[in-house]
A and B are shown apart, each in its own frame.
Chain A
Amino acid sequence: MENYQARVLVRLKNGILDPGGKAIAHALDSLDFSEIDDVKTGKIIEFSIKSKNESEASARIERACEQLLANTVIEEYSFDISRIEAD
C-alpha cells in the first residue's frame, strides 16, 4: 500500500450567488484594491489516503466528493494528490 496526500477544493458552481465572495470583494474595494474583481470563496479539505496506486486513490477520492464532500447541486470540486514518501 502507498500513502497519498490529497487536497480537495470545493467551491460554488458558476452562476450561484456567493455572498461571502461578494462581501470580500467589497472590503477589498474599500481598501483600494479596485483592480480585484470576481472574488469566489470555497473550502479546502486535506487528508491522507492509503491506496494501491494513484488511480485507485483518485477513484476513492472522487467517490468521497460525490457522496459527502461536495453537494453537486450547488458545488463543484477538484482535487490533487501526491505520494507521501516513506521515511
Chain B
Amino acid sequence: MKKIGVVVFPGSNCDHDLYYVIKHELKKDVEFVWHKESNLADYAAVFLPGGFSYGDYLRGGAIARFSPVMNEVIRFANSGKPVMGICNGFQVLCEAGLLPGALLKNDTLEFVCQHVNVRVTSPDSIFTRACKDGQVLNVPIAHGEGNYFANTEQLHELEEHDQIVFQYATVEGQVSPDANPNGSRLNVAGICNKNRNVLGMMPHPERAASPLLESMDGRVIFESLLAC
C-alpha cells in the first residue's frame, strides 16, 4: 500500500494523534502533508485532521478550504480516492463542497468535550466495512461547532443514499434526542459523499485507538480503511 497523508494546516492540532495511530498502532507508512503541497500522487488516502485551522476565523474550515493543498485534495477525492476529515477536517470538507451541509455552533453554546456513543448507521463504506451494522462505538468529541445542519431536502437525500454513516446514540444504539450532544439534525455524527470515498465525522476515532486510552473503539475505522 502507498503512504497515508495527514494534511497539516496552520492551527491543526490532531495531526500528530493521527500520525501516531497510523504509524504505531496500524503500522502503516504515513507522512505529514504541508498545506502548501500541491502533489498527492504518492498517497493512497488523505486525512484532514482536527484543530483550529487558521484560527477558525470567519467560520470553522472556511479559510483552510482555500489552502493550496485543497485543490489537490478535491481532485484526489473526485478521482475516487479516500479522503477522511475529522472534526475541523469535517468542517473543511463541507466548506469545500465535498460533503453537503454545514456545521453550526452547538445548540448548547458550549464547547463539548466528552466521550459519546455513536452508532454505525452504515457499514457500507471503506471507512466502516469492518464494523457490524448498528455497532455502537465509544469515541470522544471535542468541538464548539459540531451541530450538523442540512436542509430537509438534503437530509432526505442523505438518507436515501445511505450517506449517514454515524449517528449519536445511546449505549444500546438508540438514536434519540437525549443522546444528541450538540443539536445535529438527525443526530448526524458523520456522513459520506454519494461515491462513498469521502467521509467527515465530528468524533475523534484517533483518540480512541490505543490501549493507553479509555476506549479502543475508534480503531475499527482505521482498520476498515487501511486494511490491505
9 contacts between A and B (CB under 8 A): A16-B104, A19-B105, A19-B183, A20-B109, A71-B95, A73-B100, A73-B150, A73-B151, A74-B149
A68-B66 CB under 8 A given contacts A16-B149, A17-B183, A73-B149: yes
- CB of A19 within 8 A of CB of B106, answer yes
Q: Does A9 contact B (CB under 8 A)?
A: no
Complex Cα spacing A16 to B66, Å: 26
Q: Does A69 contact B (CB under 8 A)?
A: yes
Q: Does A44 contact B (CB under 8 A)?
A: no
Contacts of B108 in A (CB 8 A): 19
> Which B residues lie at the A interface, using CB under 8 A?
58-59, 62-63, 66, 94-95, 100-102, 104-109, 147, 149-151, 183
Q: Which of A1-50 contact B (CB under 8 A)?
A: 12, 16-17, 19-20, 23
- CB of A69 within 8 A of CB of B107, answer no
Q: Which of B66, B102, B147, B150 contacts A71 (CB 8 A)?
A: B102
- Having A16-B104, A17-B147, A68-B62, one finds 4 other A-B pairs with CB under 8 Å, namely A16-B149, A17-B104, A19-B109, A73-B150
Complex Cα spacing A69 to B105, Å: 17
B181 vs chain A, min Cβ distance (A): 14
A31 vs chain B, min Cβ distance (A): 18
Contacts of B100 in A (CB 8 A): 73
Smallest CB gap from A12: residue in B: B104
Contacts of A71 in B (CB 8 A): 59, 62, 95, 102
